[in-house]
């Protein structure tokens, strides 16, 4: 079992030790005795970017199947045992990973480790047609409730498909399509598990009020005998030109509360200084009620009821700058779009003011420190940097890297990327019925 421990410059005194089991499982530990709790986080290097055409949604489906029982834990037992011990738990799926996590009273840490090891090592014992059908239905209902049957629910799916061309590994979102969910067989699920749910394809982090020596002994005891698997293929190449080269546009007529302008800009990949600079730029432009777009559209022009601009960081493909504006009253989308383009052009020409830089960096610094201050947030970030960038220690110095970005770097990324020919645009127009209802409401208000 290998071992390294480093306190990085700019880490604020936070430390992490790294270890590797003989079967390839990477383990990251970070002691924090402030409160008697411990967080367990397990990241598997598998997300929707690893899926193939016709079998989308398998990564997310497996997130649900992992809570359906394993060799020693039947049915809903994972939830029952963790919550019965006073802990909390969940799992999530993204383009680039699937993660599972528990926050436990410190004296119940061994239980969380045993539970994660049992399903990593023996889920296939419990995986059958009944559990597959059960969770297939759950995921399909989740899609209906979160995507298909809510206003603007499929906007992210539509914009992603526009921003990443057909055949690109990020062209589809983790939720998957109804047709592909229906098509997934039990053997598809078993093959997916064997390929990706192996110790050499995972990072385990444990943060909090722990005894490192005892924690490592438990990890070795419960995870050490799980065999590795060498059948995983690397994810398909996600690289694309820096600029889309055209303004892609789709107009959607739906029963939505108001017109909306949404756009996805192609931005630098996560892990680079340019991505940090883009994060600062979007924070200044659309990160909260002090941002330029909010002040222009909501406060000054009163043409919108909401205006935001944020960064979806991606490591294996260009990141996305996500613009979201909901109009007010009878404002037409072209007027909103003209105002947005005017503000982006002005920012690219003039750059940020010193006050804007200070405010945006302070905002991002607070967000980072909030994540690193909790045992669960720190465990997640240590896993993220280990899986996506190979070095968990980078999580502890992320704040410093944001603070080192200069105004010139922020202006440069805005000038190079926040252009009309580098975005996919989605325009929502309410249906006639919605327009009529809105007109009646406005008349009644008068």
The confidence score (pLDDT) of residue 443 equals: 38
Nearest Cα to 195, choosing from 135, 137, 235, 140?
Answer: 235
pTM: 0.92
The confidence score (pLDDT) of residue 174 equals: 95
For 350: left if phi > 0, alpha if psi spans -120 to 50, otherwise beta; the answer is: alpha
Tally Cβ neighbours within 10 Å of residue 283. Answer: 27
**Residue that wins the pLDDT comparison between 233 and 333:** 333
For the chain, give the mean pLDDT: 93
Residue with tokens 């690193």: 372
Q: Which H/E stretch holds residue 117?
A: helix 109-126
The confidence score (pLDDT) of residue 352 equals: 98
When pLDDT is cut at 50, 70 and 90, the band that residue 8 belongs to is: low
pLDDT, tens only, 277-297: 999 999 999 999 999 999 999
When pLDDT is cut at 50, 70 and 90, the band that residue 6 belongs to is: very low
In the predicted model, is pLDDT for residue 126 greater than 80?
A: yes
Instruction: Answer for the pair 386, 316: CB distance below 8 angstroms, yes or no.
Output: no
When pLDDT is cut at 50, 70 and 90, the band that residue 231 belongs to is: confident
In the predicted model, is pLDDT for residue 434 greater than 60?
A: no
When pLDDT is cut at 50, 70 and 90, the band that residue 230 belongs to is: confident
Nearest Cα to 350, choosing from 270, 411, 263?
Answer: 411
How far are the Cα atoms of 81, 165, 262, 388 from residue 172, in angstroms, in the given order?
A: 35, 10, 18, 20
The C-alpha atoms of residue 117 and residue 163 are separated, in whole angstroms, by: 38
The C-alpha atoms of residue 96 and residue 312 are separated, in whole angstroms, by: 12
- Percent of the chain exceeding pLDDT 70 equals 94
The C-alpha atoms of residue 177 and residue 56 are separated, in whole angstroms, by: 7
Q: Which H/E stretch holds residue 372?
A: helix 354-373
When pLDDT is cut at 50, 70 and 90, the band that residue 12 belongs to is: low
Q: How far is CA 181 from the centre of its chain?
A: 21
Give backbone dihedrals phi and psi of 380, rounded to 5 degrees, phi first. -65, -45
């Amino acid at each position: 079992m290998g071992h390294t421990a480093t306190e990085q410059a700019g880490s604020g005194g936070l430390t992490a030790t790294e270890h590797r089991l003989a079967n390839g499982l990477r383990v990251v530990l970070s002691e924090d005795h402030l409160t008697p709790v411990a967080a367990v986080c397990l990241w598997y290097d598998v997300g929707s970017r690893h899926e193939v055409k016709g079998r989308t949604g398998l990564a997310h489906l497996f997130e649900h199947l992992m809570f359906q029982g394993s060799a020693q834990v039947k049915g809903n037992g994972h939830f029952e045992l963790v919550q019965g011990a006073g802990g909390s738990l969940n799992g999530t799926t993204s383009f680039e990973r699937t993660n599972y996590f528990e926050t436990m009273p410190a004296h119940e840490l061994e239980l969380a480790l045993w539970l994660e090891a049992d399903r990593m090592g023996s889920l296939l014992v419990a995986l059958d047609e009944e559990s597959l059908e059960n969770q297939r239905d759950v995921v399909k209902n989740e899609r209906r409730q979160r995507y298909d049957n809510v206003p603007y629910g499929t906007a992210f799916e539509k914009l992603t498909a526009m921003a990443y061309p057909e055949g690109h590994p990020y062209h589809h979102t983790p939720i998957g399509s109804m047709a592909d969910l229906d098509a997934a067989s039990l053997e598809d699920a078993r093959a997916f598990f064997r390929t990706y749910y192996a110790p050499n394809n995972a990072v385990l982090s444990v943060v909090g009020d722990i005894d490192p020596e005892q924690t490592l002994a438990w990890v070795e005891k419960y995870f050490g005998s799980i065999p590795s698997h060498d059948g995983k293929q690397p994810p398909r190449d996600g690289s694309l030109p820096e600029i889309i080269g055209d303004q892609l546009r789709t107009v959607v007529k739906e029963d939505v509360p108001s017109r909306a302008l949404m756009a996805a800009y192609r931005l630098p990949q996560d892990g680079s200084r340019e991505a940090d600079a883009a994060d600062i730029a979007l924070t200044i432009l659309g990160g909260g009620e002090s941002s330029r777009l909010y002040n222009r559209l909501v406060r000054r022009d009163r043409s919108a009821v909401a205006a935001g601009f944020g960064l979806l960081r991606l490591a294996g493909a260009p990141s996305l700058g996500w613009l979201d504006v909901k109009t007010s009253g009878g404002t037409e989308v072209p007027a909103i779009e003209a105002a947005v383009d005017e503000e982006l052009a002005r920012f690219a020409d003039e750059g940020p003011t010193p006050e804007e830089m200070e405010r945006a960096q302070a905002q991002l610094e607070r967000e980072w420190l909030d994540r690193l201050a909790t045992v669960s947030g720190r465990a997640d970030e240590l896993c993220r940097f280990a899986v996506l960038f190979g070095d968990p220690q980078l999580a502890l110095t992320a704040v410093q890297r944001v603070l080192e970005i200069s105004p010139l770097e922020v202006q440069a990324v805005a000038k190079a990327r926040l252009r009309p020919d580098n975005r996919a645009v989605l325009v929502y127009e309410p249906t006639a019925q919605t327009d009529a209802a809105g007109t009646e409401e406005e008349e009644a208000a008068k």
